[in-house]
A and B are shown apart, each in its own frame.
Chain A
Amino acid sequence: MISAKVRVRKLEKTVKEPDKEELSACLLAVGARKDIQAFEVLFRHFGPKIRAFMLKRGGNRQQAEELMQETMMMIWNKAALFDPARGSVSSWIFTVARNVRIDAFRKTNRPEFDPNDPAFVPDAEPAADDVYQAGQEADRLRGALVKLPPEQADLLRLSFYEEISHSAIAERMNLPLGTVKSRIRLAFSRLREILGDAA
């Protein structure tokens, strides 16, 4: 029985990789009705990436597998919180994996704001076409990242992959702190420009 199921799955897998609309629909389906098939699509797409992400922080393969499962469990439980108007599936999953990793390696809290708190100051005006726009922005952002000067792109990659602060990067790369700061500022002002944000 199991082997038959596996064979079918392999067949499906060779057919095609899910695109981001499908992944988004899968995460919504898990959030809305705990759809296990949708979850499997997410697991097979993101599982290996999460495992690699965990390994970049250190530890062994077994721990990376365990943390990947932990992250996927979190995704299973919290999928209802995913809002496609506020960001892409990969940003959402990145933030979940990041938090699991902080928990595992640093055993510390990462305080976060709570949008349901009465003292929370909400966004001014929600745009009408948010879901569509968020998708467009994700595409533009990917394109813009590729076009960043290598020294800025490398810095961003290193920080996100290894969870290291800009001052630690300055030390590691033997650069003046001011240089690292200005690369970060240049990179994000460029990305914000691409996203059409004057802020």
Chain B
Amino acid sequence: MNIHHHISDELLFDYANGALEEGWSLAVATHLALCPSCRKRLAAMEAAGGAIFEAIEVEPASASKEDFSWEAMRARIDNAAPVREVPAAKVVSARDGVLVPEPLRSYIGGDVDKVKWKPLGLGAYHYPIKTSDEDISVRLLRIPAGKPVPEHTHGGRELTLVLKGSFSDVSGRFGPGDFEETDETVDHQPIADPGEDCICLAVTDAPLKFKSRIVRMIQPLLGI
């Protein structure tokens, strides 16, 4: 995989320190599954986290309190049911040419060919993904080859991870594994490259507000 667009330091840092919500984390973690170089950057951040954690100041506790705590821990271990081996995830063979890595695959219940697409109009489709945050929209998008994603603006951050095909916009060309991070300061017009449909994971702060009049008219009907 030839990845050219990576996760920014500040976003990866939010993921490393645990502050990033589920929807954004899904895009970040799925890119990480495809990108050894971002994993290396994450490891460096977690190493910094470890060093900072190691330096944490501890108020002195009485030895008897620490002994009491340890005895409680021992009792807990003695009483714990033996840990069941974590059952392996649904077996997928690499031969099947799996396209979507974990953690995303579990969220969509299989590979992209299993997705039950919903029409978005103008030949585009989407598949909404449920996470624990109502105000973060997470979904797969399928844009027909050579066609634009309906022009849109949005209220905050937008993350896009390409899974199949490619698109281009002012920031360049984005192919499989590439990660795009934009915000309200960027008015971009992604266009799927000719040849094949572009499938990507799109995570946004708020529902996309499509500028196109037709789409705006049907937006309430589609609930997007």
Cα distance A123–B41 in the bound complex, in angstroms: 13
Is the Cβ of B56 less than 8 Å from the Cβ of A49?
A: yes
CB of A119 to closest CB in B, whole Å:
4
Docked complex Cα distance between A36 and B101 (Å): 37
Pick the contact of B26 from A10, A52, A111 — CB < 8 Å? A111
* Residue of B34, B37, B51 with most chain A CB atoms under a 10 A cut-off: B51
A131 within 8 Å of B (CB atoms): no
Bitwise interface map of B from 6 to 46 toward A, beta carbon under 8 Å scored 1, else 0 = 00111001100111111001100110111111011101111
Residue ID in chain A nearest B25 by CB atoms? A111
Give the distance in Å from the alpha carbon of A126 to the alpha carbon of B159 in the complex. 31
Q: Which residues of A contact B34 (CB under 8 A)?
A: 119-121
A123: chain B residues within 8 A (beta carbon): 36, 39-40
Q: Which of A84-142 contact B (CB under 8 A)?
A: 86-95, 97-99, 101-102, 107-114, 116-124, 137-138, 141-142
Q: Which residue of A lies closest to B82 (CB)?
A: A77
Question: Does A82 sit within 8 A of B, measured CB to CB?
Answer: no
Tell me if A141 and B98 are in contact (CB < 8 A). Answer: no
Q: Interface residues of B toward A: which range?
A: 35 or more
CB contact under 8 A between A188 and B51, given known A109-B131, A163-B18: no
With A9-B67, A119-B99, A156-B52 as known contacts, state yes or no: A36 contacts B77, CB within 8 Å.
Answer: yes
CA–CA, A72 and B76, complex, Å: 10
**Number of A residues, CB within 8 Å of B:** 80
10 closest Cβ pairs, A-B complex: A91-B50, A119-B101, A113-B33, A111-B103, A90-B50, A118-B94, A165-B19, A94-B53, A48-B58, A114-B102
Q: What secondary structure prevails in chain A residues at the interface with B?
A: helix
Query: A95 to nearest B CB, angstroms?
Result: 6
Indicate whether B93 reaches chain A with its CB closer than 8 angstroms: yes
Q: Please name all residues of chain B whose beta carbon is closer than 8 Å to the beta carbon of A185 when the two chains form the complex.
A: 9-10
Nearest CB of B to A59, in Å:
15
| Structural contact, A120 and B69, CB atoms closer than 8 A | no
Asked if B63 contacts A10 (CB within 8 A), the reply is yes
Q: Please name all residues of chain B whose beta carbon is closer than 8 Å to the beta carbon of A97 when the two chains form the complex.
A: 53
